[in-house]
Amino acid sequence: MRFYLSTLAGHRRGVLILLGWSMLEGVPAFFSGKLVGTAVDKGFAAGNPLAGVLWLLAFAALAVVGALGQRQVFARLGDVVEPMRDALVTRIVKGVLNDPTHRRTPDASAVAMITRHVEVVRDATAGVLVQARALLVTTIAALIGLATTAAALIWLVVLPIVAALVLFGLMLPSLAKRQRDAVMADERTAEASGAVLTGLRDVAACDASDEAYEDIATQINQQASATITVAWANSLRATVIAIGGFAPIVLLVAFAPPLVASGQLTEGATLAAVVYLTNSVNPALHGLARTTSTVVMRLMVALKRLQEAAPQTRTEVGEEVPSNGEFALRDVTFGWSPDAEPVLRGLSLDLRPGDHLAVVGPSGIGKSTMASLLTGLMPPDNGRVLFGGAPVDLVAPTIRHHAIALIPQETYLFTGTVRENLTLLAPWVTDEDLTEAVKKVGATALLNRLGGLDAALGHAGEGLSAGEAQLLALARVYVTSASVVILDEATSHLDPAAEARVERAFAEREGILVVIAHRLSSALRANRVLVMDGGKPLLGTHENLLKTSPLYGQLMLAWDPTHHEETPLPKR
């Protein structure tokens, strides 16, 4: 909310221009009653139709001026609303992409939800600017107009309106709370039905359609009664505003007769006063009541949801400069939460340039944790991960990002040319280097099929297979100057031969290679193997582990039982 208001304040000039044009829009409200009154008074009632028509034409001319003002207001609305939306979108995108935890990573449907909420904020802001502003301008203009024509009666008019507005203001908090409850009930209904309908298999397996129905029905009923509760509040609000709008009219006609009789109030002035109230003040009051109850609430809910979707961005810190390109892990322990069983326990490991480590273990055991620890994205709970003698998460970000490259399983491809995609991490490399890297990872045929470096890629690597997308991601890292390369199941969609080619290409590159293995064959190519299986990690060469670790033997057996008896030699 604070962010929203400060953004609006940042466009103060736009808002002021908007208000300026509003003055013009208020002109008909200011003169309408007076002109109609005069037309009757001096024209038609006085037996002078020409004057009456002329006064009415003046009324029409002012209506044109007011409409012009309104036109300008809407045309200028874009100058306030669009930059505000731009700022909001920018903040959210940065927030989502900078979120260090990635715990609440939005999927496609969450992104769609973000888009919807941004649109709500945009429309609601425009709605508030239009309605609240119109109320202000119209009411004030009409009241001034009223004061100039029927000054004696002004208090009869102002007091009920002010009282209604004050009462309305007092009711707002409870109205807002009920609206919020209704929105929450709505979301819970969607959640409950979503859970059951995506889990129909499990409902059937548990023979639990009655309980499932009860769970949904409870939320549906709560949602219905929350909606009705809101309606009661809305009804009360509408009544207050309606009374506040109508009471002045009744008071006016009730108190006018003596004034008219004594000549203090002319026929035209009385007519003018009623026209001000019925044509300007009343519609504006109703508009305000409508806006605050629906639009403002939608605005608040959308802003709250957006704030949850995009947390405050965190800037990376760290100024340490590593003294060399070696990794040293000392008694490293890491778990996802203090209560959870650690994924890694007491791991010590040294990695020097030329080293080629394979990390193996059952899927879902947390092998990717190694990637997060080595890239410094997450510090260990206990122990130290040192890069060139400095804790890796405290190494200066520019040095760290250039020295250590990660290729995750999910490929990042964006819409743009193949060249743009390949030079993402090293914008300075030449086309020759790119072609060479593409050749090394075995993607030359792919590049030719795509149509060369200038070919365009669609969203999410549209038209590419998952394996082809991985080849591009591999070439992208191969071409960088990174001295540490971590392949986190980065070859999972390649066939075994292509995978072997890629791993050999990276092994021949200078520096450290860590392969978080999708297939156990990766272990055969490495000069050291780390086995993760929930307990204390096992570290050793392939031959060594075969002799000492029954688990590793089991894993290897599962992979290829023919190698059970005779140990295969690592091919490098």
Partner 1 sequence: MAKPGDALLFSVVRRDVRPWLLLLNAAVATTAGLLLPTALAGAVDMALGGTFVLVTVLWLLLLAATEIIGDAIGIVLAASITARATAWLRKRLSRHLLALGHPPRFAAGDSVSRLTGDCGNAGSVVVTVMSLIIAAVSSVGSVVALALLDWRLAAVFAVSVPLAMLLVRSHMQLTADDVLAYQEVSGEISARLVDAVAGRHTIAAAGIADRESGRVLQPLPRLAAAGGGMWRTQAKMMWRAGLLLPAVELAVLVAAGFGILQGRLSTGDVLAALGYTALGMGIVGQIPQLTALERTRASATRIAEVLDTPPAPRPTPQPSDGSIELRNVSINGVLHDVSLTIPEGAFAAVVGSSGAGKSTLAAVLGGLSAVDDGDIARDGQVGYAFERPALLGTTIGRSIGYGTDADEIQVRDAAVAAQVHDALIRLPQGYETPLSDAPLSGGEAQRIGLARAIVRDPQVLVLDDATASLDTVTEAKVDKALTTALPGRTRVVVTHRPATAARADVVVWLENGRVRGTGTHAELWDDEDYRAVFTGGE
Applying the rule CB under 8 A, the residues between 109 and 148 that interact with partner 1 are: 111-112, 114-115, 119, 122, 126
Residue type at position 300: M
CB of 456 to partner 1, least distance (A): 14
Q: At what angle are helices 267-275 and 209-261 packed, to 10 degrees?
A: 170
CB of 74 to partner 1, least distance (A): 4
Q: Does 3 bind partner 1 (CB under 8 A)?
A: no
Q: Which is nearer to partner 1, 268 or 388 (CB)?
A: 268
Taking the C-alpha atoms of residue 513 and residue 490, their distance in angstroms, rounded to an integer, is 13
CB of 488 to partner 1, least distance (A): 8
Q: Binding residue for partner 1 (CB under 8 A) from 2, 9, 108, 569? A: 108
Map the footprint of partner 1 across residues 73-92, applying CB under 8 A.
73-75, 77-79, 81-83, 85-86, 89-90
How many residues are present in the chain? Answer: 572
CB of 332 to partner 1, least distance (A): 18
Q: Binding residue for partner 1 (CB under 8 A) from 124, 134, 302, 406? A: 406
Taking the C-alpha atoms of residue 505 and residue 494, their distance in angstroms, rounded to an integer, is 15
Binding mask 317-356 for partner 1 (x = CB under 8 A): -------------------xx-xx----------------
Map the footprint of partner 1 across residues 263-322, applying CB under 8 A.
267, 270-271, 274-275, 278-279, 316
Taking the C-alpha atoms of residue 95 and residue 89, their distance in angstroms, rounded to an integer, is 10
CB of 287 to partner 1, least distance (A): 13
CB of 230 to partner 1, least distance (A): 7
Taking the C-alpha atoms of residue 432 and residue 422, their distance in angstroms, rounded to an integer, is 12
Taking the C-alpha atoms of residue 360 and residue 549, their distance in angstroms, rounded to an integer, is 13
HSE toward the beta carbon, residue 254, CA cutoff 13 A: 8
Q: Binding residue for partner 1 (CB under 8 A) from 117, 400, 528, 542? A: 400
CB of 60 to partner 1, least distance (A): 5
Q: Where are the beta strands (DSSP E) in 243-381?
A: 327-334, 344-351, 356-360
For residue 328, list its beta bridge partners.
Answer: 350, 386
Q: Which is nearer to partner 1, 85 or 528 (CB)?
A: 85
Task: State the SS3 of 430-488.
Answer: CHHHHHHHHHHCCCHHHHHHHCCCCCEECHHHCCCCHHHHHHHHHHHHHCCCCCEEEEE
CB of 113 to partner 1, least distance (A): 10
Map the footprint of partner 1 across residues 27-66, applying CB under 8 A.
28, 36, 39-40, 43-45, 47, 49, 52-53, 56-57, 59-60, 63-64, 66
DSSP string, 79-136: HHHHHHHHHHHHHHHHHHHH-SS-TT---HHHHHHHHHHHHHHHHHHHHHHHHHHHHH
Other Cβ atoms less than 10 A from the Cβ of 479: the count is: 23
Taking the C-alpha atoms of residue 276 and residue 249, their distance in angstroms, rounded to an integer, is 10
From 380-388, 429-437, 537-545, 555-563, span contacting partner 1 (CB under 8 A): 555-563
* 176 token code pair: 């807002």
Q: Does 254 bind partner 1 (CB under 8 A)?
A: yes
Q: Which is nearer to partner 1, 249 or 357 (CB)?
A: 249
Return the ∠ at Cα 277 (arms to 27 and 150), rounded to 5°. 85
Binding mask 524-543 for partner 1 (x = CB under 8 A): ---------xxx--------
Map the footprint of partner 1 across residues 174-213, applying CB under 8 A.
186, 189-191, 193-213
Q: Which is nearer to partner 1, 249 or 306 (CB)?
A: 249
- Tell me which residue of 537, 495, 538 sits closest to 518, measured CA to CA: 495
Map the footprint of partner 1 across residues 447-486, applying CB under 8 A.
459-460, 473
Map the footprint of partner 1 across residues 375-394, applying CB under 8 A.
375, 377
Q: Which is nearer to partner 1, 361 or 383 (CB)?
A: 361
CB of 330 to partner 1, least distance (A): 22
Binding mask 149-178 for partner 1 (x = CB under 8 A): ------------------------------
- Residues in contact with partner 1, counted by CB under 8 A, come to a total of 165
Q: Do residues 497 and 523 lie in contact, with contact meaning Cβ atoms separated by under 8 Å? A: no
Taking the C-alpha atoms of residue 489 and residue 500, their distance in angstroms, rounded to an integer, is 13
